[in-house]
A and B are shown apart, each in its own frame.
Chain A
Amino acid sequence: MPWDTIHLWVRRLFIPILLAIPFFTDRYVQYVLNLIMIYVVVGIGLNFLLGYAGQFAFAHAALMGIGAYACALLMSRLAFPFWIALPMAGVAAMLVGSLVALPAMRMKRVYLALVTLAFAELIQWILIHWKTVTLGTDGVSLPPTQLFGYKLTGDHPMAYVILFVAATLYVLGQRVVTSRFGRALVALRENEIVAQCSGINVTKTKLYVFALSSFYAGIGGGLFALALGFIVPDGFGLFQLVVHFSLVVIGGLISMYGSVIGAVVLTALPELLRDFQWLQEIIYGFTLVIFILFMPDGIAGLGKRKGWLPREILVRNWRDLEQRQRSHASQEGRK
């Protein structure tokens, strides 16, 4: 099994390589890599909601904005240290996101999409017009940041902080989707009746997934503010939302790999197309449509079908079980 061997080595070498990368990059490349890691966090968050749970909610960019603003304002105006401001950004987005979830309990598909889109516009409007707090369209700049005495200014120093947060949230996300909660999400996406008759409280599960997804968006927003050093309301509008949707659809819905692949493609591609900026939105929209029509499970889905990527079964340590099952079967065979 050559792919199995490759997967094993990738898994062994992954963390050392990630840790080594910042030693070999210039500032610009590192900046792009930081953005990729941030979009991994944002993508995982949206994938919980849009992928696993199948909820057509359009507030993710606005919630990322809330996280970014919460983090930036807490640091610049109240002089909070980064390590407190970042989790608070996640919590702020989570609270607001749960508020969006309330109408979602009763709505489906297009109605949910409309309500969340309107909500996103409202957030945008508040960020622009509530000048005394948000400084409006002037934007907010982050003060020079320290983390326990370690200077966080510059793309290389902050790379490790972003890597730490993104890796932690990836591992936690992986554990979430391989838990009973992750399976319940897909069950309610596919068949609410079966979910209910199996003891899954659909309302509660929906509320939790909105909260969780918003938390990821908020943390992503906080890191985004850190990486950019300066944020404006416009950064969290419709275009940001299109990026998020393209990310999870092109990367792959219902897949942790999908969020990573999507983040790489969607962040690297525009940087490569820098000279054709006017084309960006058209390319995004076009690719999105192509994928929805012809490859609804995204690049990760293709990779899994071809065997390039390992299977994703939403069961903790399922490989051990498979191993046990195989040895049991061969023992039975010998009898």
Chain B
Amino acid sequence: MSPLLLSASGLTVRFGGLIAVNEATLEVTEGEIHGLIGPNGAGKTTFFNALSGLVATASGRVELAGVDITALAPHDRASLGMRRTFQSVQLIPQFTVLENILIGLHDQIREPVWRSLFSWSGRSRAEDLAQQQVLDIVRMLGIEGALFRVPAELTFVEQRLAEIARALVSRPKIVMLDEPAAGLSPSEVTALNQLLRRLRNDWNLTIILVEHVLSLVLDVSDRVTVLDRGKVISRGTPQQVSSDPQVKIAYLGDDDHA
């Protein structure tokens, strides 16, 4: 079995009196696609935010590749190779796709300040390299035509893919995708499914997927963790989880997914 890449144990997040995530435990091994599902309000996004360091945890421990990252700021976690997307697409509105994706390479464009400021030719090797990386990723995702356009000029799918490209461009260890299929048509969901498989198989990328489109999660995930009211109620392969009576009860209580 592949080694553990990300583990969260006993993670609790409180908002005042509300316990949004309650002693949740998640174990993600290297190179797997791990689905995180649960009815509306189960705490999936809060759990994601806690993993990326955006919300403070009341207790628990998060480890990335054996390193305790519980106390690290979001940007340090990102630098360690943990990237994410957001439920609603978050692109910088006045930036072109090129600039938006380059943001994802911020801590990899390394060059002494004097070299980038005072080079006589006006070229910067680190920037050239970064541009090539952006070019590679947009070609892979098929959005190279959008490189010099701003988000308002993009289709919804292109916006989603641009955000995914920003998360992927630095070649992270793990990518957390928050509902990447939301708002996509069935054929686009199929394409996304293929993309995720390709990333896992060709890059050996580890992916955590929060998703409402259950057919996608159950089809593409290697393992699934189910959250309900902040608690982990089931975990295992998609087959195990979908036949778990507790999961059925949790979902039947929710009309959207009955």
Residues of A within 8 A of B (CB): 172, 175-176, 178-180, 183-184, 186-187, 190-191, 193-202, 254, 313-318, 321-322, 325, 328-329
Contacts and interface: CB of A to CB of B under 8 A. Distances in A.
A198 B83 contact: yes
Which 6 residue pairs across A and B have the least CB separation, nearest first? A199-B78, A196-B74, A199-B107, A316-B127, A180-B109, A199-B79
A104 B92 CA distance: 23
Interface string B115-138: 011000011100110110001000
A183 B104 CA distance: 10
Does more than half of chain A's interface fall in helix, strand or loop, or is it mixed?
helix
A186 B94 contact: yes
Given A190-B93, A321-B98, A196 B116 contact: no
A254 B94 contact: yes
B75 A179 contact: no
Contact of A196 (B73, B109, B144): B73
B166 interface: yes
B251 interface: no
A186 B92 contact: yes
A176 B113 CA distance: 9
19 contacts: A175-B116, A180-B102, A180-B105, A180-B130, A186-B95, A193-B54, A193-B74, A194-B86, A194-B92, A196-B73, A197-B52, A197-B83, A198-B75, A199-B79, A200-B75, A313-B98, A315-B127, A325-B144, A325-B147
A168 to B, nearest CB: 10
A202 B94 contact: no
Contacts of A179: 109, 116, 124, 127
A283 B3 CA distance: 68
B170 interface: yes
Contacts of A176: 117
B135 A321 contact: yes
Contact of B117 (A172, A184, A201, A328): A172
A200 B108 CA distance: 11
Nearest to B176: A197
Contact of A198 (B103, B123, B148): B103
A41 to B, nearest CB: 16
A183 B122 contact: no
Contacts of A187: 92, 95, 103
A91 B231 CA distance: 55
Contacts of B93: 190
B145 interface: yes
Contact of B123 (A196, A313, A317): A317
Nearest to B93: A190
B94 A315 contact: no
B209 to A, nearest CB: 17
B92 A190 contact: yes
B99 interface: yes
